[in-house]
Amino acid sequence: MLEIRPSCECCDRDLAPESTDVLICSFECTWCRDCAENVLHGVCPNCGGELVRRPVPSASRLAAGRVSTVRVLSDSCGAP
């Protein structure tokens, strides 16, 4: 089950669980579309993996509040 993290690891922008503008790598490093495309150029700085769109959780999972509240920030992002 995906963790569904609440923020971008690069800019700390809030990311809604139902957003389709969130990208992740296979280790669930989580990025907003702006950082993923313009700062990271589609490559995770933590693991070197490809960034792909994060699936949107089901409505029942969202209603049950089963998403992470843990914010993660990456030191290797390279954002200004």
pTM of the model: 0.85
Q: Which DSSP symbol is given to 23?
A: E
* pLDDT tens digits for range 37-55: 999 999 999 999 999 999 9
CATH number for the segment(s) 1-61: 3.30.40
The 10s digit of each residue's pLDDT in 12-22 is 999 999 999 99
Ranges of each domain in the chain: 1-61
**Residue pair 6/73 in contact by the 8 Å Cβ criterion:** no
